C-alpha cells in the first residue's frame, strides 16, 4: 500500500464500517437471539443490555455511509442505486428494530410486547442477512457497465455465495451478541447465554470454514493478495486464534476478555476482506476493467484532504467519549424506572 489520500480514505471508510460491525453487530446479535429467551424479564434484560448504546452504534453506519458518499461518491451512487430494493428492505428492518426497542416496554399488554419482540428479532435477523449479502456481492463481483452503473437485477444479487456470506454474518453477529449478553447479564440468563454463545461459535466456525473453502474455490480474486504476500496469512491465523480464545476466556470466567476476542475476530475478518478487495471498491464481473476503484471513484484530492482534517479532529473526540460512555454503563444490567 502506498500511503496516498485515496488509500487512507479506503482505510477510514473501512474503519467506520468495521466499527459498525463490531458495535451494532452485538446489538443485531442480541436481536437475533431475542426470541430464544422465554420470560418477559429476560427479554427486558436483553433489551436493556444494549439500551444505552444501540443508538450510538447505529451512528457508525450513518457516518460510514456519509464518509462513503463524501470520499467515493461514485461507489456510493452505483451501489446504492444498484442495490435499491435490498437497501430499502434494510432500511425498513432497521426502522422496525429501532422502533421495537423504543416501544416494547411502553405498554404491558402481552400482544403489544409480542408484536415488538417479533419486530425486533425479525428486523435484526433480516438486517444482518442483508448486510452480509451485500458484502458477499462486493466480494463475488457485480455487473458494472462502461458508465460505471450497476447492470444487474435484484434477484441476480441473491446467488449462493453472497447468501453464504449473509448467513455467516448472521452467525458472527449472533456469536458476538451472545458473548456481549454473557458479559452484561447475571444468574440463569447468564448461564443460558453462555451455552448459546458456545453453540453460536460452532455455528459460526462451520460457516466460516465453508466460506473460506468456497472463496478459495470459486472466488480466487479474493485471495490474490494473501497469496502474493504470504505474511498476510497471519491475519487469517489471528482470526482463528481470536475465536479459539473465546471458550478459553469463558472457562476462566473472564467474560470481558471473551468479548474483546470476539471484537478482534470481527476486525480481522473485515481486514481480510478489505486487503483482498483493495484497490477495488466494487469489483466488476464479468468485466473487471469496469471496476470502481479507490482512484476512479474518489472525490478530488482537495476534498479528501479537507475531510482528513475533519476526521483527525473528530474521530479522537468520538473515540474518547464513546469509551467513557461504555465505561459509565459498564457492568451488569440493572433495571430502574428509566429502563426499557
C-alpha cell at 82: 444498484
328 binds other proteins (CB under 8 A): yes
In terms of Cα–Cα distance, which of 9, 10, 55, 47 is closest to 31?
47
Beta-ladder partners of 142: 284
- What residues contact residue 250 under an 8 Å CB cut-off, 6+ apart? 182, 194, 197, 198, 258
Residue reference for cell 477510514: 12
Provide the minimum distance between the beta carbon of 53 and other proteins in the complex, in angstroms, as a whole number: 6
Pairwise CA distance, residues 148 & 18, whole Å: 26
289 binds other proteins (CB under 8 A): no
Q: What residues between 67 and 96 interact with other proteins by CB under 8 A? A: 67, 69-74, 76-82, 84-85, 87-88, 91-92, 94-96
DSSP label of 52: T
Provide the minimum distance between the beta carbon of 121 and other proteins in the complex, in angstroms, as a whole number: 17
DSSP label of 332: S
Pairwise CA distance, residues 226 & 61, whole Å: 28
To which H or E segment does residue 280 belong? Answer: strand 280-282
Among 4, 56, 158, 232, binds other proteins (CB under 8 A): 56
202 binds other proteins (CB under 8 A): no
Provide the minimum distance between the beta carbon of 2 and other proteins in the complex, in angstroms, as a whole number: 22
Q: Which is nearer to other proteins, 59 or 272 (CB)?
A: 59
Q: What residues between 92 and 121 interact with other proteins by CB under 8 A? A: 92, 94-96, 98-99, 102-103, 106-107
279 binds other proteins (CB under 8 A): no
C-alpha cell at 225: 493478495
Q: Which stretches of the chain bind other proteins, using CB under 8 A? A: 51-53, 55-56, 58-59, 61-63, 65-67, 69-74, 76-82, 84-85, 87-88, 91-92, 94-96, 98-99, 102-103, 106-107, 147, 149-151, 299-300, 302-303, 306-307, 310-311, 314-315, 318, 321-322, 325, 328-329, 336-339
Amino acid at each position: 500500500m502506498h500511503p496516498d489520500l485515496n488509500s487512507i480514505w479506503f482505510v477510514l471508510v473501512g474503519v467506520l464500517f468495521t466499527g459498525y460491525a463490531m458495535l451494532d453487530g452485538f446489538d443485531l446479535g442480541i436481536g437475533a437471539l431475542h426470541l430464544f429467551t422465554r420470560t418477559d424479564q429476560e427479554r427486558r434484560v436483553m433489551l436493556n443490555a444494549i439500551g444505552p448504546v444501540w443508538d450510538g452504534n447505529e451512528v457508525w453506519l450513518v457516518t460510514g455511509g456519509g464518509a462513503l458518499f463524501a470520499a467515493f461518491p461514485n461507489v456510493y451512487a452505483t451501489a446504492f442505486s444498484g442495490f435499491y430494493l435490498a437497501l430499502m428492505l434494510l432500511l425498513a428492518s432497521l426502522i422496525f428494530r429501532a422502533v421495537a426497542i423504543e416501544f416494547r416496554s411502553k405498554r404491558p399488554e402481552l400482544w403489544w410486547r409480542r408484536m415488538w419482540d417479533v419486530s425486533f428479532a425479525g428486523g435484526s435477523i433480516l438486517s444482518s442477512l442483508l448486510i452480509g449479502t451485500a458484502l458477499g456481492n462486493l466480494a463475488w463481483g457485480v455487473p458494472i457497465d462502461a458508465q460505471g452503473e450497476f447492470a444487474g437485477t435484484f434477484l441476480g444479487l441473491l446467488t449462493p455465495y453472497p447468501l453464504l456470506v449473509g448467513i455467516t454474518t448472521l452467525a458472527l453477529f449472533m456469536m458476538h451478541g451472545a458473548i456481549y449478553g454473557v458479559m452484561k447479564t447475571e444468574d440463569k440468563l447468564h448461564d443460558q447465554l453462555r451455552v448459546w454463545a458456545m453453540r453460536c461459535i460452532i455455528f459460526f466456525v462451520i460457516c466460516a470454514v465453508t466460506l473460506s473453502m468456497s472463496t478459495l474455490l470459486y472466488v480466487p480474486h479474493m485471495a490474490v493478495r494473501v497469496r502474493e504476500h504470504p505474511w498476510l496469512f497471519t491475519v487469517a491465523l489471528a482470526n482463528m486464534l481470536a475465536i479459539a480464545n473465546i471458550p478459553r476466556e469463558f472457562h476462566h470466567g473472564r467474560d470481558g476478555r471473551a468479548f474483546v476476542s470476539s471484537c478482534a475476530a470481527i476486525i480481522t475478518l473485515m481486514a481480510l476482506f478489505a486487503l483482498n478487495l483493495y484497490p477495488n471498491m466494487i469489483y466488476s464481473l464479468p468485466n473487471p476493467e469496469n471496476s470502481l476503484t479507490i482512484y476512479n471513484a474518489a472525490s478530488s484530492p482537495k476534498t479528501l484532504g479537507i475531510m482528513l482534517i475533519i476526521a483527525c479532529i473528530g474521530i479522537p473526540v468520538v473515540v474518547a467519549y464513546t469509551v467513557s460512555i461504555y465505561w459509565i454503563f459498564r457492568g451488569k444490567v440493572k433495571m430502574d424506572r428509566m429502563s426499557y
